[in-house]
Structure 1
Amino acid sequence: MDADKKLCGRDPESEFVELAVEVFAMLADATRIRIILALRADGELTVNALAEAVGKNPAGVSQHLAKLRLARMVTARHEGTRAFYRLTDEHASQLVTDAILQAEHSIGGTPRHHHTPQD
């Protein structure tokens, strides 16, 4: 009976709206976006490999990974003393992709993703 009263997650009154804001806040950092892009491209990377990929020091990347882990966007697999990080699922990657596609609209003209193969 209560099931009839639960709101869809996409309803403006949904309890998930505030959680979505937290997701966007977590992604409101260029280093975290770069980490997600690197993990999307390479699948699984160590802190040092990620640091090299995003052009930041390993200690800073480790801090960002800790936040992304708390947000359940990345997960770690340990092998001896090394940790390998990967995206938990495809959703963070899709959010970043969509944000980049939206950003392409801000440069004016027809964004690259709207061009046809003939262009």
Structure 2
Amino acid sequence: MTKPKPDDICQVRCFNTDLVAQVCEELPKDEILEDAHILFSALADKSRLKILYALSTAQELCVCDVASMLGVKVAAASHHLRKLRDLKILKYRNDGKLAYYSLKDERIGDILNCVLRQIAI
């Protein structure tokens, strides 16, 4: 991290106390910010982004399908899926010897698609 230049920082403690108070009142609760932090940390990995995008379009994929899509071993795909499940972003079901994963909430796909559209502009 670069050290700020003297002209990059304020020389006073707080200039607009009314605005700061308004912003503080409107800040989401810590629990909501924690959930957002979890979601954005999950999106910080390219493989997990691909998985979430695929699940936003395919509705449900098994572990071996995800591995094939990512071009990785089943164990690696399973690791990413387990991480997303632990973050409460995915749900899964077993069907015989297969484990299927899907988005826990379709709004996650909406958020991801919104971000991707914004970047593509």
Q: TM-score band, normalised by the shorter chain?
A: 0.7 to 0.9
Whose Rg is larger?
Answer: 2
Tell me which amino acid in the other structure corresponds to 2:94: H
Structure with greater helix share of residues: 2
In structure 2, stretches of 5+ residues that fail to align are 1-25
Provide the aligned C-alpha RMSD in A. 1.4
**Counterparts of 2:53 and 2:28, CA distance in 1:** 32
Structure 2 length normalisation: TM-score? 0.71
Listed one character per residue, the Cα deviations across residues 76-96 of structure 1 (whole Å, up to 9, x for unaligned) are: 111112111111111221121
Aligned to 2:84: 68
Structure 2 matches for 1:45-84, cutoff 5 A? 45-84=61-100
| Alpha-carbon shift at residue 69 of structure 1 (Å) | 0.5
* Equivalenced residues, count: 95
In structure 1, stretches of 5+ residues that fail to align are 1-10, 105-110, 112-119
Aligned to 1:14: 29
Listed one character per residue, the Cα deviations across residues 60-115 of structure 1 (whole Å, up to 9, x for unaligned) are: 110110111011111111111211111111122112112212211xxxxxx2xxxx
CA contact (8 A) 1:38 1:54 kept: no
Identity %: 32
